[in-house]
Amino acid sequence: MQNKCGQFFTSYRQENRLFKTWFERFWLLVLFVGLILYPLCFDSYVLQLCMINIAIIAAVSLNVLTGACGQISLGQGAFVGVGAYAGVWFVQSGAAMLPEWMFVVFGGPFIPAILCGGLVTALVGMFFGIPSLRLKGIYLAIATLAAQFILEYVFLHWKSVTGGHSGMAVPAPEIFGYTFDTYPRMFYLTLACAVLMVYLATNLMRSKPGRAFVSIRDHHLSAEIVGVNLFWYKLQAFAVSAFMAGVAGGLWAHTARYLTPSPTFGIGLSISYLAMIIIGGLGSVLGAVYGAIFISVLPICLDLLAELVGGFFPELATPIKATKGGVFGLVLMLFLIFEPEGLAHRWRLIKAYWKLYPFAH
Amino acid sequence: MSLLDVTGITLTFRGLAALMNVSFTIEEGEILSLIGPNGAGKTSMLNCISGRYHPDEGDIAIDGKSILSMKAHRRTEMGLSRTFQNIALFKGMSVLDNLMVGRHSQMKYGLLASMLYWGKARRHEDMHRRRVEDVIDFLGLSPYRHQVAGRLPYGVQKRVELGRALAAEPRLILLDEPMAGMNLEETEDMARYILDINEEWGVTVLLVEHDMGVVMDISDKVVVLDFGSVLATGAPEEVQQDKDVIAAYLGGEDETFLGR
């Protein structure tokens, strides 16, 4: 948080700003203009961009819980699943339960349903977070792994809600009569949600609850001494994290438009979220964003590479495709060895370097 | 009425007595030192007061109100604050954030307000930041404000921990060996800080320390523990003369040690 040379703050509010310089604000604007223009100019990879937005929300949610609060969760994939099914249920069967004014304010059942799906997921997350009072580290990991399997079982067998093995179709979301039935439209919706969630998580991390989370991670004994109610804050971390995961799930369901429980919301998804926050940087909101983008883009790049090489050497195309998983794992491992503090840390170092360039000190 | 009343505290670990019938009182505005040979039960006593250990018998009261049934975080709200013998900072956070966490129990806004960071939450953040800056100025921590606490030198980390305890605006601060591992200059600085905390900020101090020079200089009252029970209580000069205390420290009647 060290500022540029010649940049002085005259109030705490100024110092606490998220984007402190016009330079930062300008490039952020450029980024968003680019993102908004992309689906208008190009057709390919729009679905992947939607999924990246969703992955960003889920990774940020996991980073609040695991990166900041230190409560490892191997059940985040299942929490996303809970949000997906709950969101769809509230759009279809549960819409009657929602109060009338919500439809008026939010222009239809979609937004209330996503929020209610998030709340249901938060309750589920809090329930599975209860063991965190007694269990730490690897033991908590196993407890949340149990949550993963229990929830997957429920997805498969609660057929009236989830459709069981055969899955179920999801209608396109509609807000104020505007139907989000194409991928470009879904891209704007998921982008808006991702920006909102990243903003909320950033605020959370820079104020009282976020600091309490990190204090629990760094030294839970002295956290209690400074007045942090350990159990309550751990539960809050589970609740916030699961809520965001639930929102990600609701968006996922409405982007994919078809839900099958397994392996979509399986242990593989949980692990990949964990990989995102480790690669991005534990405890940093921006890190989770970088990690989500990296993990989502890497397989696409490997595919492109395989295609490219296959163009020159057709006989190599199949073996390259076959080793894709291995290359993916290798890249992850190299990252952990050479960049253990994540992309967010590397980004800070790069910024620090250019701040002083061309001087050494 | 005393600020802190410790009456007949007995603490055992599986039959092994760490504290036996320990009683003492701290008056508002006092500096009380708890001394004794290694293993005498000084840190156990602090842990009983701060809520990490639960004594088997006896009572601990602030302003005559028993705090034994309270959890540690509730005791902080009662005006209790402490530092640890081995540095227990939040190593991944900046110095500023460490001190801001110190004010946790004073901050009154919830999760939703914090996520929106608007209105109340923002006002409170600025307000508490101002108080934290007072502590930073007082302890001379401003060069380290935005640095990660875990990477600072040992002496500075000790100071940050004192600052975190102070940020909570306690009435009673428990200091567990604040001078341990410090050189002469740092020790003198720390002694000065403790006196200032006591005199300017009006905080009552319970000090556990091995540096007898400092203890005898700054304390109003000294409690000597040995093998879990109180050996002597009184002003520093009285304790220095006490035969039992000399025997406990030196195993004989050599009077040169405590009298420096």
- Where along chain A do its domains lie? 45-286
Residue that is written with structure tokens 């006896």 in the block: B58
The fold of the B1-79+170-260 domain, in CATH, is Rossmann fold (3.40.50)
Instruction: With a cut of 90, say whether residue B132 has pLDDT above it.
Output: yes
What is the spatial order of strands in the sheet that B204-208 belongs to?
A: B80-82, B172-176, B204-208, B31-35, B221-226, B229-234
Q: Does B54 touch chain A (CB under 8 A)?
A: no
Q: What confidence tier does B253 reach under pLDDT thresholds 50, 70, 90?
A: low
Instruction: With a cut of 60, say whether residue B258 has pLDDT above it.
Output: no
Terminal-to-terminal C-alpha distance of chain B: 35
Q: Does B8 touch chain A (CB under 8 A)?
A: no
What six digits make up the tokens of B69? 């049934």
Mutate to test the interface with B, among A196, A205, A222 (most CBs of B within 10 A): A222
Q: Which of B193, B189, B204, B195 is nearest to B163 (CA)?
A: B193
Q: Report percent pLDDT > 90 for chain A.
A: 50
Between B134 and A6, the higher pLDDT residue? B134
Q: Report percent pLDDT > 70 for chain B.
A: 96
**What pLDDT is stored for residue A355 in this prediction?**
76
**What pLDDT is stored for residue A212 in this prediction?**
95
Between B28 and A98, the higher pLDDT residue? B28
Q: Which of B47, B83, B97 is nearest to B68 (CA)?
A: B47
Q: What confidence tier does A361 reach under pLDDT thresholds 50, 70, 90?
A: low
Q: Does A230 touch chain B (CB under 8 A)?
A: yes
pLDDT in tens, A318-344: 777 788 788 888 888 888 888 888 888
Best mean pLDDT range from A96-105, A225-234, A348-357: A225-234
pLDDT in tens, A143-185: 999 999 999 999 999 988 888 888 888 888 988 888 888 899 9
Are residues A228 and B84, on separate chains, in Cβ contact within 8 Å?
no
**What pLDDT is stored for residue B110 in this prediction?**
85
Angle between helices A183-205 and A208-218 (to 10 degrees): 70
Residue that is written with structure tokens 């009236």 in the block: A160
Residues of B within 8 A of A226 (CB-CB) are: 76, 81, 101-102, 104-105, 164, 168
pLDDT in tens, B203-245: 999 999 988 888 999 999 999 998 888 988 999 888 888 888 8
Task: Over range A346-356, report the average pLDDT.
Answer: 82
**What pLDDT is stored for residue B243 in this prediction?**
84
Are residues B164 and A230, on separate chains, in Cβ contact within 8 Å?
no
Are residues B90 and A222, on separate chains, in Cβ contact within 8 Å?
yes
Of A298-307, A318-327, B32-41, B91-100, least confident by mean pLDDT is A318-327
Task: Over range B52-60, report the average pLDDT.
Answer: 92
Which chain B residue is nearest to residue A209, measuring alpha carbons? B111
Q: How far is A173 from chain B (nearest CA, A)?
A: 26
Mutate to test the interface with A, among B48, B71, B84, B101 (most CBs of A within 10 A): B101
* Cβ within 8 Å of residue A233, ≥6 positions away: A69, A209, A212, A213, A216
Percent helix, strand and coil across chain B, each to the nearest 5: 40, 25, 35
Residues of B within 8 A of A204 (CB-CB) are: 111, 114-115
**What pLDDT is stored for residue A1 in this prediction?**
46
Q: What confidence tier does B26 reach under pLDDT thresholds 50, 70, 90?
A: very high
Burial class of residue A156 in the structure, from the number of CB atoms within 10 Å of its CB (0-12 exposed, 13-18 middle, 19+ buried): middle
Q: Does A5 touch chain B (CB under 8 A)?
A: no
Q: Does B123 touch chain A (CB under 8 A)?
A: no
Region class of A149: left (phi > 0), else alpha (psi between -120 and 50), else beta: alpha
Instruction: Scan residues 330-349 of A and list those with Cβ closer than 8 Å to B.
Output: none
Burial class of residue A76 in the structure, from the number of CB atoms within 10 Å of its CB (0-12 exposed, 13-18 middle, 19+ buried): buried
CATH 3.40.50.300 in chain B is located at 1-79+170-260
**What pLDDT is stored for residue A15 in this prediction?**
79
**What pLDDT is stored for residue B157 in this prediction?**
93
Residues of A within 8 A of B101 (CB-CB) are: 211-212, 214-215, 223, 226, 228
**What pLDDT is stored for residue B254 in this prediction?**
52
Of A4-13, A208-217, A238-247, least confident by mean pLDDT is A4-13
Question: What angle is formed at CA A239 by the lines to CA A237 and CA A244, rounded to 5 degrees?
Answer: 100
Are residues A218 and B89, on separate chains, in Cβ contact within 8 Å?
yes
Are residues B71 and A229, on separate chains, in Cβ contact within 8 Å?
yes
Phi and psi at A339, nearest 5°, equal -135, 55
**What pLDDT is stored for residue B260 in this prediction?**
44
Q: Does B115 touch chain A (CB under 8 A)?
A: yes
**What pLDDT is stored for residue B198 in this prediction?**
94
Between B15 and A118, the higher pLDDT residue? A118
Q: How far is B16 from chain A (nearest CA, A)?
A: 24
Helices (H), chain A: 12-15, 22-41, 46-62, 76-92, 100-106, 110-129, 137-157, 159-162, 183-205, 208-218, 220-225, 230-256, 267-280, 285-312, 314-322, 324-338, 342-356
pLDDT in tens, B146-170: 999 999 999 899 999 999 999 999 9
Q: How far is B103 from chain A (nearest CA, A)?
A: 7
Residue of A13, A16, A212 with shortest CB distance to B101: A212
Are residues A219 and B90, on separate chains, in Cβ contact within 8 Å?
yes
Instruction: With a cut of 90, say whether residue B33 has pLDDT above it.
Output: yes
pLDDT in tens, A49-79: 999 999 999 999 999 999 999 999 999 999 9
What six digits make up the tokens of A44? 């390919």
Instruction: Scan residues 137-176 of B and list those with Cβ closer than 8 Å to A.
Output: 146, 164, 168
